[in-house]
Chain A
Amino acid sequence: MHAPANSALLENPFAKRRSHRETYEFLVKSVLRGATYVILFATAAIFLHIIVKGSPILFQAKAPFINTEFLTKLPETLHVLEDKQGHIYKTDPKGADAIKHQLGDNLRQEKTISYSGGGILGPIVGTFLLVLVCIVVALFLGISSAIYLSEYAKPGKFIEWVRLAILNLAGVPSVVFGLFGLGVFVLAAPVFTNTPMDRALLVIPLGFTQMSFQGWDTSVLSGAFTLAFVILPVIITASEECLRAVPMGFRETSLALGATRWQTIWRSVLPFAMPGILTSSILGIARAAGETAPIMFTAALAFKDKLPWQGEAGLGGVFTESVQALPYHIYTLAARIPQNEYSERAQYGSVFVFLVLVMTLATASVLLRRKLRAKYKW
């Protein structure tokens, strides 16, 4: 507005200059942005696909809006019968006989699709039990060793090696953990029994009973212990970090008041580290729930027509029976049965339910963290 009259003649000293440098900047930015978008696209594609295909199986338009059958029945073989007029009947093994009888000669063909009928209660219960036991074992072992490493152990070469070993544990392929579980928990772990098996590695008489190293068989316990070892590195590392984040002043004050080391840890270190430990552990749970290889040899069956407490041992068998588990069930459905239009229901349904479970855990962890951070800040 108040520019001098000859302003048109002056060159703008701040004008944009097209240069190599600028092009280069633009290229770098584009590549970085592109990489981010690729990840975003992949994530969105996975989620959308599963939600679009899976949600109609779990949800329905009529009350109670959730397909309760899918969540409360065990998996079973799906029978598909077609009559000569082209009508299709989907039913379970029991219903198939009745319909066949009714159709008589009118039956054109019968197809059976394994594991694709009924619901997925078995795998849900199995995964729940595995995760429950796993988290108890992993938290106990993990927090204990984290406390030892960060509060008691004298820093030095040995402890550095221990830390390195724990980090390396995180890099062990999960199928190796599975085999480790098979060798140690399924075949060799100690049990108390009066009648040791012949294949027991070692039997120690205790007087009133005998300790036999014959393993826990394929069971929830074996699987959960194996899973616990898979997530231990995460839990130990996270716990150590949380313990270190508790101000040194809390420890010194407590000790200066005459507390012993353990009193100090129990009353003025652990309570303040616990929120962080728990929230990071929930992510560990999500990981444990999703692992397939470690439970393949140790706990999970492709198919089982009984819930763990419906076996011979009754309620006592909850932890000692083998189970079905969601990730292994998904693997079975995807890779072990012929694919056709009738197998999709169980496949997408299972994946969708699984995804919802894991996302619930992750969300819970984020919310918990936010809440506890606000409560325990210092």
Chain B
Amino acid sequence: MTTPRTSPLAVRMHDISKSFGPVRANRNASLEVAVGEIHALVGENGAGKSTLMRILGGLLNADSGIMDVNGRDVTGWSTPDAIAAGVGVVHQHFMLVPTLTVAENLVLGKEPTRGGQFDNRRAIADVKRLGEETGLVIDGTRLISDLSVGEAQRVEILKTLYRGAKILVLDEPTAVLSPPEVKDLAQVLRRVRDGGGTVIIITHRLDEVMDLSENITVMRAGETVARFRTRDTNPAEIAQAMVGRHVRLTTREFAIVTETTPSLQRSAESHTAAADALIVRDLVVASSRKPHEVDTVSFTIHPGEIFGIAGVEGNGQTELIEAIAGLRHATTGYVGIGNRDVTAASPRERADLGLSHIPEDRQRRGLILDYSIADNLILGMQHRFTRRGALDAHAITEYARAQIAAFDIRPPDPLLPARALSGGNQQKVVVAREMGGGRDYSVLLASQPTRGVDVGAIEFIHSQLIAAREAGKAILLVSAELNEVLSLSDRVAVMTGGRFVVVMPAADATEELLGEYMTGARAAA
């Protein structure tokens, strides 16, 4: 774990341990970050990365271990101490007030005043000045609620810098960004580094790690298991350190390919014989923002086909999926499962007709976090585990045990609340419920099925999707990961502004081509 030091250390965490009840989130974890570097902290979900960073940011105190910042022992400090010392944590979930402007949010807690009154003009000027210094240009007068996710994140970073952060910690900053926004963020972080700042970035995406960082620390099960110098390593080596075993990666460096890959590239024509399993015609769906969030979309999916939808998030994908799932009212149009019209059917009726749904937000929709794994595994099927009104606890536990084993959900305790699981294992619970043995389905809606999930679980979920396709299921896949859509789908659509701008066989598509459609550089054919 020692590498030659070229510059003094900004952060040194040594032998850090932290337990939450029986769960040991950090075990003798150690981290060394030099001043002026971008350091990647990688690891599977539940590996203890966020905990370690919360300790660094003063949000948590370690049970044992020592911590230096810029050579000063700061073990056990608090959040205000950390901020005063220039350690700024940018959270994955933004802490911004949506009804205030960018400038007002930026200066919140440190407001410039003139004659006792809030000096809005100076706040706006501060945003501008800071934007020029860092390259994070944003209009200070805009409301947070009007910003895109990428812009909101920019404000969050600016806010941290405004408070004088010299050591910037970012917890999965790219999870919510579109590809162009990721590129912008990388630029920003490089500028911060070039200006003498230190950046620690938590991420799952090995391509970003390779692209951005100078050094990498890998965590697994609470321990720091490896440290690499980025230019001396490769994604396969990092992935292996993360999961503790060999993982196959494509040349794209993070899309996981399974043994069935060659059959992926089948053309759409081979399915024409089969009847359509999911039919969507002229669907219009409104959102609270606009009446045509989904604007006259039509498509069909055959049994044994994966139909992928690519596109920057917020272009109607969520509303489309919700309308098909029965969670959102369709203004006009038609949704059919097989030959049944389900346009006005309830979610329960759709499920009984063979619709499964992996929702994009597992913590809001997909799981009841305070329910046990077992209770979550029957959500949507609870009527099938009921005898004369009473839940059959024995059958539920038995079923849960079988699913936990089949989907390798860890820890394998059916009575543990879903809240206590890592993101990857939470997603496995959802996948096990929607695709597992107890489910008789013909159509699967898979929305961001691998979001925020670690490498090992991505590999597993991809193989499940392919196996379901081989078993004749019709699958609608929506993902922000272009290469996930490309490597799994038979046909691909690009969704922009609520419409499909192009639908093509995946075999004919490339990331570049889809990217051009997504950004509007190439218009509908």
A, B in one complex? no
Binding site for A on B (CB under 8 A): none
